[in-house]
Structure 1
Amino acid sequence: MGKTMTTKNNLELKGRYRKQTLLAAGIVAATMAGVPQTVSASEEDWLTKDWEVSGYIREYLSWNLENPTLIGPGPNIFDGEQRDDYRYDLSMARTVGKLNLFRDFGNARFKFTGRISRESPTDYLKDLQAVADEWAQTGGASGSSVNLRDDVYDDEEIRELWVQGDITDTTNLKVGRQQVVWGETDFFQLLDVVHGYDFRWRSFLEPENEELRKPLNLVNLVQRVDDLDGSLQLLYIPGRLNDGENRGNSYDVEGGRWANNPNKGITFASAPFAANVPYNYDHSEADMDDDSYGLRWNGLAGDWGYSVAWFHGPNPNPVANPNPATNPGRPDLQTNPYEYEGNPAAAGEFIYPYIDIFGVTANNYFAGPDLVFSTEIAYIPDAPYNVGIAGGAAGLGAGEACGFFPGFCGIAEKSLVRSMFRIDKQLDLQDFLGTSRPSFFTVQLFNNWITDFEREEQLVNLAGFGGETKEFSSIITAVLATNYANDQINPSLAVGSDLTYGGGFVIPAVEMAYGDHIRVRLEADIFWHETDQDRPLEGFNDTNLFGYFSGNDQLTARLTYQF
């Protein structure tokens, strides 16, 4: 990336941290002003003592177990060839440092968390960058090329910066940069929609999802209602105090190591010809400067714990808003409720339309079978889906296609019900596996139901892929976690299967603890699928979720020194 773009990024980064620092100073002053202090005049070091300091230094390493698809442009643009064999190559060498500072002042608490990430230029990463540069040079939008290390992987971030205090005996206020977790599951998002996730450097595989969740500057008020055995939580997220890129989920559309197969090396913002699709955070129906709000009642009803919630904010996943000027054909499907507001020469824009999500959760322990049952149900009355199964590069006749990619006929809003049912149980496997204590087992079933489904609308699961959305779909996952040598050696096995579209994953792993400070985790990430796409930007077929991960089998090692 040129010097001008780098300077621009640095100015944006400085502005972002300046904004967060000003916010932090304001909330500290406001909160502390209303909280009585008990500091003695003789305690001159009251600001510097009693701080809790923690954090880690972590190294990630991963190796390809398959040969990922990496095709650069050829003489006729789409006639490129596979670049080398990357099987067993080092695909990631990532160093991360995290620092936590916490202080309890009595009636107020303060926390700061900062994280710095740096990637080493592996040979595989260098080839990804080279191919991305080649595709950008075939006619991508000016200034839209991406430097994977500088723009995607390397990062300096304030993860937490908040003040929390009790306004009354039953009212608690927490203001600043933080994470708010809703719902009963931490695997697929149902009600956990307050924050987006950054899946670009590690996809969905990181065990601690707080490392992937994007923190936000927000106001978090909890009012306890003791007479009703519950509490009411109110959230307010000021849009102008949060960057647009920190809203919604971020997927690898920059052509990096977790780009959907076969798009490694393809940067959507700088795709060839008019096929580029950049993000638009200022769309009138998806303006990230707009505020978000949420309400959640959390309570007890007999032995059941339950919650009822509503959230108004950006759709968790982006949808492609196609440009009708560059996507002719199929006017019968082009019923887009969103006007196109992007680059007139582009194929479209990625947007996060604002939606409302209503949900309930419940959980209970059953002594007879000795298990915990939990469920989560979310209703989205206007969930956005991309429309159009076939893409123009698939060799179809006039009138059959919708432009450059599947899904580029437009966007349809559908009524969506999402549900999760889970069982957690301790299994006594000492006699069978020789574990040092009972093992933890969990199984989860996820379901989607489009209540006003119409097949002729040709909904797709992901723009750019031809997998057709079905009225009902389900995924099942299970995890078995065991412990040996008094929790010093902890193997686990995670499996999942797409019951509707086919494919799945299996992740065997082991985490080893050495004393209080050193943790080592080894895992293999294995995927399988029914259909995958062989060529970038052409040959579209019915590829779905696990087809996106084709070629991404890998071995990962994570070394952590925690303090």
Structure 2
Amino acid sequence: MRSKGVSKIRASVLAVAAALGGFAGSPAWGADAAGNYEVAALQPGDAAVKSWAADDFSFNLSGYARGWVSVNLEDQPELKAIGEKSKGKLSMVRGSLLLDADAKTGAVKWKAIGRVDREYKTDYLKDLERLRETNGTDQGGHANSILDNYNRGEIREFWAEIPLGERVTVKAGKQQLVWGESDFFHAMDLVHGYDLSWRLFFEGENEEWRKPLTLISTKIRVPEADGMLAAYIRPGVDRCQDIGNTYDIQGGRWFFQPYRGFDLTAVTDKDCDHPSGDYRDVTGGVRWSGEAFGLNYSLAWLTTFSADPVANSAFRPYKKAPEGAVFDRIHPQIDVYGMTVSGYSSTLDAVLSAEMAYTKDQPYNIGTGAFLDPVVPGNVGIGLGGVKLKDTLTTMLRIDKDLDLQGIFGTSRPSFSSIQLFDTQVLNFKESDDLVRLFAYGTPLTEHNTILTAFTTLNYRNDTINPGFAIGFDLSHGGGFAIPSLSLTLNDEWLARIEADIFWSGNRSNKVAFSGQRSQLFGYFDNASQLVFRLTRQF
């Protein structure tokens, strides 16, 4: 009941924070009229490649070339301080090329996905680069070009899937594993981290931003119980940068206010060898999904790395001294136990879904207030006072419904709409723990952090013209976002989209770095509203 198009829409709903490779060349191959690539027919005399001529061999190549342009809609205080304007300037000019190759040799399926991303250094990015020089965080060989934040080139996936009998399949290699029901606030979808360095809002798919890992995964179908058992093991051969979420901490366009133009890597390192989170440690998980009483459900356990980093402070070291001048970013291991359930309600004519995840020993930083406490000497704020582990409970409730707006707006079919409520609760919460929500801010963590989102999409001319609107509110601290958008299918090859990402902070945004001023989720995005254009050529 959840189409790929629905997943795209959900991924655009929120913030607060993902595909390439290919091969071609051995046997001869070409494209058919639909643009699919297949191995060319072999001639009888082609003895050297006869082994490729089996009936059960196939090869397909697809992909896209994509471009983005974004424009700032507001002036930003960091650049105002050096006499530069932000409003109206291009914040992003980006291009990507993705190749997706599929092959089948006998019963074995193969996949290779590669992507190359490149950006143009706009005047706005040059301003941020100069600001890094002004504040002294572009020295010592750190990020010589701000484009180091954004340029990429990698093999995204490379795996083989082998059936073992009629019920079991095993997939080995670099891959993506999706567990859970929610698309942006990831309660159970924690196998992978996400690369959020070049974007935090605007439309796309989680598959583009999820950081694939080298896994051995399996699925075991159990029809007698109307279910399937899935499991994976991560042997610990990935790179350090593959672990946890990646944010734009090098002073770029998506660093949280008021830290744009401040290269945090000048005073911190990422420690992947920390005793609480060594990237070479083996991790894994097990998930059962099935149907019962007309409901779809799942139960899961996994041990993984905390998605968001915490600071191992030089002032209050956690288990080992950091190597960075001020702190190291670490991703301690956590255990997550979760469940999902969804089903159709004939009374509401809607699909109702729920997801719940209990996290054991979620790490948080300690130390609210400014960097150095002017009242109590020796107290360290902005999250640099140590690390404390707390259990958390994350809950998601959602209702998906097709609204009949044809008579009102003249749409060609009912409009898919969704309302979603997300809540993260810190269990055994104590104000005396002095926990902060995010290091580099002195904002106290609250017991509940609750977000309400909603969106709808209208469909015209057989889904070739699709206006949409998404909105969200931070019910705990104020602030929110609105995203009006328009998606166009120009023909079978060309797709276009334009959207505005509009934020308001509810007066919870910092104005001065390291000051300990109050700043909650949408305060991070204050003055970051933008207009985004995207054009895709599929092949």
Find the residue that maps to 2:364 and give its secondary structure: strand
1:167 equivalent to 2:184? Answer no
Query: Is 2:58–2:105's contact at 8 Å kept on the other side of the alignment?
Result: no
> Any idea what the Cα deviations from partners look like across 1:347-375, whole Å, max 9, x if unmatched?
11110001101100111111222110111
1:215 aligns to 2:212 (yes or no):
yes
Query: Alpha-carbon deviation of 1:143?
Result: 3.4
**Count of equivalent residues:** 494
Match of 1:321 in 2: 312
Q: Does the alignment pair 1:265 with 2:245?
A: no
Aligned match of 2:146:
148
The structure 2 residue matched to 1:202, chosen from 199, 204, 214, is 199
Question: What RMSD over aligned residues (CA atoms) do the two structures have, in Å?
Answer: 2.1
The corresponding residue for 1:494 is 470
- Select the residue among 391, 397, 406 that pairs with 2:375: 397
Answering whether residue 198 of structure 2 is matched by residue 191 of structure 1, we say no
Deviation at 1:45, TM superposition (A): 4.4
Cα deviation digits, residues 17-68 of structure 1 (max 9, x gap): xxx99xxxxxxxxxxxxxxxxx998845439973211110000000000012
Cα pair 1:323 1:340 within 8 Å, conserved? no
Unaligned runs of 5+ in 1: 1-19, 22-38, 72-79, 271-275, 328-335
1:66–1:554 Cα contact (<8 Å) kept? yes
Q: Identity percentage over the alignment?
A: 38
Does structure 2 conserve the Cα–Cα contact (< 8 Å) formed by 1:522 and 1:555? Answer: yes
For residue 411 of structure 2, the aligned residue among 435, 440, 447 is 435
3-state SS of paired residue (1:50)? strand
Deviation at 1:231, TM superposition (A): 1.2
Q: Which amino acid letter does the alignment assign opposite residue 46 of structure 1?
A: A
**TM-score between both structures, scaled by the size of structure 1:** 0.84
Alpha-carbon distance in structure 2 between the residues aligned to 1:318 and 1:204: 20
CA shift in 2, pair 1:169/1:392, >3 Å: same
In structure 2, the partner of 1:374 is: 353
Cα distance between partner residues in 2 of 1:496 and 1:196: 23
Q: Match of 2:174, as an amino acid?
A: R
Output the CA distance in 1 between the equivalents of 2:92 and 2:66.
13
Report the CA distance between 1:259 and its aligned residue.
0.3
SS of the counterpart of 1:210? helix
Q: Which secondary structure does the structure 2 equivalent of 1:290 belong to?
A: coil
Structure 1 consecutive aligned stretches of length 4 or more whose deviation exceeds 6 Å: 39-42
Deviation at 1:387, TM superposition (A): 1.1
Q: What SS class does the counterpart of residue 126 from structure 1 fall into? A: helix
2:92 maps to amino acid: M
1:279-321 deviation digits (Å, cap 9, x = unpaired)? 1111111111111111101111121111111111110110111
Mapped pair 1:251 → 2:247: yes
Write the distance in 1 (CA, Å) between the matches of 2:513 and 2:448: 29
CA distance in 1, matches of 2:365, 2:252: 23
1:206 deviates by 3.6
Is 1:280 aligned with 2:276?
Answer: no
Measured in 2, the distance between the counterparts of 1:535 and 1:451 equals 32
Partner in structure 2 of residue 525 of structure 1? 501
Deviations 1:166-199 (A, max 9, x none): 1111110111111111000101110000000011
- CA contact 1:206–1:212 (8 Å) conserved in 2: no
Note if contact 1:390-1:401 (Cα within 8 Å) is conserved in structure 2: no
The 3-state SS of whatever aligns with 2:135 is helix
Please, which of 246, 262, 286 is the counterpart of residue 295 of structure 1? 286
Q: Does 1:534 align with 2:481?
A: no
CA distance in 1, matches of 2:245, 2:229: 27
User: What residue number does 2:429 align with?
Assistant: 453
Cα distance, 1:45–1:106 mapped onto 2, change above 3 Å: closer
In the alignment, which residue of structure 2 is the partner of 1:484? 460
Report the counterpart of residue 95 of structure 1 in structure 2: 95
Q: Does 1:46 align with 2:53?
A: yes
Partner of 2:341: 362
Aligned to 1:126: 126
Give the whole-Å Cα distance in 1 for the aligned partners of 2:64 and 2:83.
Answer: 37
Letter in 2 for 1:184: E
Unaligned 5+ segments in structure 2 are: 1-20, 23-41
- Whether the 8 Å CA contact 1:173–1:222 is kept in 2: the answer is yes
Tell whether the 8 Å contact from 2:468 to 2:484 is kept in structure 1 after alignment.
yes
- 1:164–1:534 CA distance, 2 compared to 1 (3 A): same
Q: 1:377 to 1:298 in 2, by over 3 A?
A: same
1:106 Cα shift? 4.0
* 2:217–2:232 contact (8 Å) kept in structure 1: yes
1:304 lines up with 2:301 in the alignment = no
TM-superposition CA deviations, 1:471-525 (whole Å, max 9, x none): 1221011110111111110111111000001100000111000110000000000
**Aligned AA (1:427):** L
- Indicate yes or no: 2:501 matched with 1:514: no
* Contact persistence 1:70–1:83 (CA under 8 A): no
**1:146: Cα distance to partner?**
4.8
Residue 28 of structure 2 is matched in structure 1 by none
C-alpha deviation, 1:209, in angstroms:
1.3
In 2, Cα distance between equivalents of 1:515 and 1:137: 47
CA contact (8 A) 1:148 1:256 kept: yes
- 8 Å CA contact retained: 1:197, 1:249: yes
Q: Distance in 2 between matches of 1:485 and 1:228?
A: 43
Equivalent position of 1:227 in the other structure: 224
The amino acid of 2:190's aligned partner reads: V
Q: Distance in 2 between matches of 1:461 and 1:289?
A: 28
Letter in 1 for 2:94: R
For residues 499 and 114 of structure 1, the distance between their equivalents in structure 2, rounded to whole angstroms, comes to 40
Aligned-partner Cα distance in 1 for 2:203–2:404: 27
Aligned pairs for 1:406-421 (under 5 A) are 406-421=382-397
- Structure 2: how far apart are the matches of 1:146 and 1:362? 48
Where 2:268 maps in the other structure, the secondary structure is coil
TM-score when normalising by structure 2: 0.88
2:319 to 321, 329, 339: 339
Query: Contact 2:368/2:442 (CA < 8 Å) preserved in 1?
Result: yes
- Separation in structure 2 between the aligned mates of residue 475 and residue 98 of structure 1, nearest angstrom: 34
Shift of 1:84: 0.7
Alpha-carbon shift at residue 127 of structure 1 (Å):
1.5
Alpha-carbon distance in 2 for matches of 1:164, 1:69: 51
Whether the 8 Å contact between 2:137 and 2:262 is mirrored in structure 1 is: no
Counterpart residue number, 1:8: none
Residue in 2 that maps onto 1:238: 235
Q: Show the counterpart of 2:37.
A: none
**What is the rounded CA distance, in whole Å, between the counterparts of 1:557 and 1:386 in structure 2?**
37
Shift of 1:145: 4.0
1:86 Cα deviation after fit: 1.3
